[in-house]
A and B are shown apart, each in its own frame.
Chain A
Amino acid sequence: MTKFNYTAKDFKSAAEIRWCPGCGDYAIINAVQKTMADMDIAHKDFAVISGIGCSSRFPYYMSTYGFHTIHGRAAAIATGVKAANPNLTVWMISGDGDSLAIGGNHFIHLVRRNINLNLVLFNNKIYGLTKGQYSPTSDRGVITKTSPFGTIEDPFSPGQLVLGAKGTFYARAVDNNVKHTQEVLAEATLHQGTSVVEVLQNCVIFNDGIHEYVTDPKFRAERQLFLKKGEPMIFGEQEDKGLIFENGKLKVVKIGENGVTRDDILVHDPTDDNLGLQMALINMALPEFPVAMGVIRSVEAPVYDQEMEKQIKTVQQNRRITNVDQLLQSGNTWTVDGENCSEPVKFFNDKCFNTK
């Protein structure tokens, strides 16, 4: 039984969506709207905050409260929203340029503080809104308008950054796999703290096919490993390949070969605070490994906005000062009441402040 019976449609605004035809963003917004409907939380309590970039137009296409802010600052603004009102359900929409370049500082500190919000990080490895410059997730050597001879820098891996900042939740999904993206987003909404969901998103105009080798549905089973809590890390068309941990490293093995059985395969537990294994899963890359999808890490830790509320409540339990008059009269004060003293004069003259 749900309380509100929302459908995805209840979260769509009347504004015309202006992403390019075929853009991966369409699939992501559908997944987000469906997820919001399923959350069964009052529509009025949603706030969607974004920065700048193609993905950051997102709030305009939502019927919730929304704030399309400035480049890189969505993390800080969303932090303020959530700290001011922890009862809100805050979603932050951002891209690789917005969160990992100009907003990199805010991004890592958001994650470090573990603000209770859902962050959807659209990673298309390019600046789309400014028409095709390399981003901090672009691969070394890639040729773009600002790197006509190829880039000479290595990219960030969003998952590595999240773990490096002591992140409590990191998941990966692909825009063309709406069902899986929804599953991941649903798990993200259940997490207390900052949940970062990196979505590999295709920019049809400026970086078409950048993730294709990984995301091509025809090879999905071979090239992607769908991690699920409590299940063995098995992949492949025949579900015959799996991961084991050997000599401090992950290794792909074939079940049934060299005496390997299903029981030898690693079982996924995102709730285990095992940074080493989770980092290894994040780092897996083709062709040696499949690319890890799903919730890679989801651990419990204190949540900033809840702690802030709690601290205020604790202090207030034993407070001696309960209002501003008491504050003003606290500490070292003295009374002046001598013969040659004049009557006190109000600082503000009422006449000046009567207008609304």
Chain B
Amino acid sequence: MKDAKIIELEEVAIRFSGDSGDGMQLTGTLFSDTSALFGNDISTFPDYPSEIRAPQGTVGGVSGFQVQFGKKKITTPGDLAHVLVAMNPAALKANAAFMNPGGTIIFDVDSFSEKNFEKAEFKTNDPFTELNLEDYFKIPVPITSMTKESLKDLELDNKSVLRCKNMFALGLICWMFDRPLDYIEGFIQKKFGKKPLIAEANLKAFHDGYNYGMNMQHMTPQYMVHPAPIEKGLYRNINGNHATAWGLIAAAEKAGLELFIGSYPITPATDVLQALAERKDLGVKSFQAEDEIAGICTSIGAAFAGDLAVTSTSGPGFALKSEALGLSVMAELPLVVVNVQRGGPSTGLPTKTEQSDLLQTLYGRNGESPLVVLAASTPSDCFYYAFLAAKIALERMVPVVLLTDGFLGNGSEPWRVPTMDELPTITPRKAKNPETFKAYNRDPETLAREWAVPGMEGFQHRIGGLEKNAAGGVSHDPENHQKNSEIRAAKVENVVNMIPELEVLGEAEGDLLVVGWGGTYGHMISSVRTMQEEGKKVSLAHFNYIKPLPANTAKVFSKFKKIVVCELNMGQFVSYLRDKLPQFQYHQVNKMKGLPFSVHELVENFEKLLEA
């Protein structure tokens, strides 16, 4: 090993990239899990096309998976990859722009053929020069032919052999980063348990890839990334959609209620429904509806009948749910709506991330229709905000929308799992006294009405979408409508009493306050920390509570010379802040590329603001 080049790094970002049928998502996931088990902190970013199978070898069909891991706290999957694994020329072309200068490119030399250059629309037979990648460390590996050679003694058809290419590549990368092999070996054995030949082929390709790296060490640099020091406890990897689903199950258990989800499949939110459908063991009632509207309407029905009711969706589906969401505002039923945002408008960019549903969420309904809006900021904290969304809905009898996004939903990170003891109690406002019960009697402090559900003796009442008086009767009285409109608004504002104050990350006063919300947290905190390390007076205020805003928001804002609001839209949160807190001047950083911010571009923008 002495003559091998060994590089010690704080953090490394690797991007696995190939045709959408090449198994890159699985390869990336297995490598990430292995790294997390090894003790690195990780952050991942799957980047895949919306077509299930775009034409093979074309740039449109490239599927990528980026993981950053390191020995310190990792908050983003990395702006640029240090190592790219490119299974074909199209993968190289699609990812050239995301490479760290001087990074390493491992490519399947067998697939770098004239035919594939053509498919990827290269003009010459020298893709590296064409993409200005001359100065990069390039490692040609005959992945296809080595895999074939490796598996030639097994009685396998050509298609099955080629399906093992990703395992060969994974083996090689595991050697490069000194990863233990046992987790991946176990995974393969379990996954292909019923097909021993396929299991054997995948294992052999994986081991041969690893051995290939060891044998070729003269040309391959090996990287060392040490384990990260973190909080003690039991850890697991979790993505945002799973965390959301589990947070809702936890809330149901805490509240002593059954959980109902009515939903309709939509990228990138489908995993929430799937993760809940798996949990029949915990009594989850999952209902795949005929459309988005039925998704929310079945949930409203379940809320009326006394379940913790949830619906999940993404932007276009959220639009379809608007009318019914208005009904839940009017009927004042507890309901949680999860919107895993994606690029819009219309079908937009189904597999790409964006934060452009904020104004739709706040205002996208007929009438004065206030509801509570929360936003999760990391894959794992989706668990806590989903839990909290349910707590607020049940205790304040109000619909709550939880905003996550494609980046959080699909991205994963290691998570110290809490115990149920660590979570706050949830006390649904179940009606207790039939003598005094009226459908719209309210708690004088919170303004929440009581929840009486069919089957409860003595509480029979009617609710509906029409304006009501306190007793629940239909009312067209002008004064009553005015009063109720104000009450519904005040009820949402009163939620401020149960949410924490806005935290400032960094000094409480300074030259620049960086403001963000939701899924951009990782990139925001990384960029702010970078600047703080350079001695700049920059702090971060990242919002998880959008409506109502934390009580101390204005106080926090007032301590900084400049405020910049960064979001993956054209300025939706900033326009909301200008409306709510018009006394401040706001600068903006906005991005509409279907991609997360990069730390680099944020820092650049902040530096300009500091100089100006």
Could you mark each residue 293-313 of chain A with 1 if its beta carbon is under 8 Å from any beta carbon of chain B, else 0?
A: 000000000000000100110
What is the minimal beta-carbon distance from B265 to any residue of chain A, in angstroms? 15
Check A45 against B327 for contact (C-beta < 8 Å): no
CB A16 to nearest CB in B, in angstroms, measures: 10
Q: Does A356 contact B (CB under 8 A)?
A: yes
A contact residues around B461 at 8 Å (CB): 65-66
Interface residues of A in 61-95 (CB under 8 A from B): 62-70, 73, 76-85, 87-88
Contact of B232 among A43, A66, A308, A341 (CB under 8 A): A341
B26 located at the interface, meaning its Cβ lies under 8 Å from any Cβ of chain A in the complex: no
Main secondary structure, interface of B, reads mixed
The SS class assigned to the A binding surface is mixed
A83 to B259, CA, bound (A): 11
Tell me, in angstroms, the Cα distance from A82 to B293 when the chains sit together: 17
Which of the segments A126-134, A168-176, A196-204, A314-322 contacts the partner chain?
A: A314-322
Q: Smallest CB–CB gap between B344 and chain A, Å?
A: 24
Chain A residues with CB under 8 Å of B250's CB are: 324
Contact A88 B454 (CB under 8 A): yes
Asked if residues A323 and B282 are in contact (CB atoms below 8 Å), the reply is: yes
Interchain CB contact under 8 A, B327 and A44? no
Given A59-B462, A76-B289, A342-B230: A327 touches B282 (CB 8 Å cut-off): yes
Question: For the complex, is B97 an interface residue (Cβ under 8 Å from A)?
Answer: no
User: Which chain B positions have C-beta within 8 A of A315?
Assistant: 280-281
The digit string for B424-445, where 1 denotes a CB below 8 A from any CB of A, is: 1101000000000000000101
Q: A76-B293, A80-B262, A333-B234 are in contact. Are A60 and B474 (CB under 8 A)?
A: yes
Query: CA A69 – CA B250 in complex, angstroms?
Result: 30
Q: Which of B438-460 contact A (CB under 8 A)?
A: 443, 445-446, 453-460
Once A and B bind, how many residue pairs between them come within 8 Å at the CB atom? Answer: 253
Which one, B45-53, B414-422, B512-520, B581-589, is touching chain A? B414-422
Q: Choose one: A84, A335, A345; the contact of B305 (CB below 8 Å).
A: A84
- Of the listed stretches B140-148, B203-211, B496-504, B555-563, chain A binds B496-504
Given A60-B462, A80-B298, A328-B246, A73:B324 Cβ within 8 A: yes
Chain A residues with Cβ below 8 Å from B473 are: 15, 60
Binds B, one of A177-185, A267-275, A347-355: A347-355
Asked if B260 is at the interface of the complex by the 8 Å CB criterion, the answer is yes
Contact between chains at B302 and A76 (CB < 8 Å):
no
Q: Which A residue's beta carbon lies closest to that of B250? A: A324
Known: A66-B462, A76-B293. Contact between A83 and B285, CB under 8 A?
Answer: yes
Q: Give A105 to B302 CA distance when docked, in angstroms.
A: 19
User: Assuming A76-B298, A109-B290, A308-B285, is B462 touching A84 (CB within 8 A)?
Assistant: no
The number of chain A residues with a CB under 8 A from chain B is 75
* Closest B residue, CB atoms, query A89: B454
Q: How far is the CB of B445 from chain A (nearest CB, A)?
A: 8
| Residues of B close to A352: CB separation below 8 A | 498-500
Kindly state whether residue B510 has any CB partner on chain A within 8 Å. Answer: no
Query: Which residues from A are CB-within-8-Å of B260?
Result: 80, 83-84
Chain B residues in 8 Å Cβ range of A335: 233-235
With both chains docked as a complex, state the minimum distance between the C-beta of B18 and any C-beta of chain A, in angstroms.
25
For residue A263, give the distance in angstroms from its CB to the closest CB of chain B: 46
Instruction: Determine if A84 and B418 form an interchain contact, defined as CB atoms under 8 angstroms apart.
Output: no
CB nearest neighbor in B for A338: B229
CA distance A85 to B33 in the complex (A): 40
Contact A321 B289 (CB under 8 A): no
Of A42, A84, A312, A338, which is within 8 A of B302 by CB?
Answer: A84
Known: A109-B294, A333-B234, A333-B417. A49 touches B422 (CB 8 A): no
Contact, CB under 8 Å: B235 / A336: yes
Give chain B residues whose Cβ lies under 8 Å from the Cβ of A312.
280, 283, 285
Asked whether A349 and B418 contact (CB < 8 A) given A315-B280, A329-B234, A333-B235, the answer is no
Which chain B residues border A247 with CB–CB below 8 Å?
none
| A residues less than 8 Å from B285 (CB atoms) | 83-84, 308, 312
Residue of B nearest to A352 (CB): B500
- Residue numbers in B under 8 Å from A82 (CB-CB): 301, 305
Q: Which of B232, B260, B456, B458 has the most CB of A within 10 A?
A: B232
How many Å from the CB of B301 to the closest CB on chain A?
Answer: 2
Q: By the criterion CB–CB under 8 Å, are B301 and A77 in contact?
A: yes
Partner of A329, one of B231, B324, B326, B417: B417
Interface members, chain A 25-71 (any B CB < 8 Å): 42-47, 49, 52, 59-60, 62-70
Q: In the complex the two chains form, what is the Cα distance from A314 to B262 in whole Å?
A: 21
Q: Is the CB of B420 within 8 A of A67?
A: no
Q: Report if B323 contacts A (CB, 8 A).
A: yes
Contact A344 B233 (CB under 8 A): yes
Complex Cα–Cα for A4 and B423 (A): 45
- A199 to nearest B CB, angstroms? 22
Which chain A positions have C-beta within 8 A of B294? Answer: 73, 76, 79, 105-106, 109
Question: CB within 8 A of B306: which of A69, A78, A84, A344?
Answer: A84
List chain B residues, Cβ under 8 A from A320. 281
By a beta-carbon cutoff of 8 Å, the part of chain B in contact with chain A is 33, 36-37, 39, 183, 227, 229-237, 246, 249-250, 253, 258, 260, 262, 279-283, 285, 287, 289-291, 293-294, 297-307, 309, 323-324, 326-327, 331, 381, 384, 388, 391, 395, 416-420, 422-425, 427, 443, 445-446, 453-466, 473-474, 497-500
17 pairs, CB–CB < 8 Å, chain A vs chain B: A44-B454, A46-B454, A59-B464, A68-B464, A68-B465, A76-B294, A79-B301, A81-B301, A83-B302, A84-B260, A106-B297, A320-B281, A324-B250, A328-B236, A334-B37, A347-B422, A353-B498
Known: A333-B417, A344-B233. 4 other contacts (CB 8 A): A73-B327, A336-B233, A338-B39, A338-B229
List of 10 A-B pairs having minimum Cβ-Cβ separation, nearest first? A80-B301, A68-B464, A76-B297, A80-B298, A319-B281, A84-B302, A84-B305, A66-B462, A77-B301, A76-B294
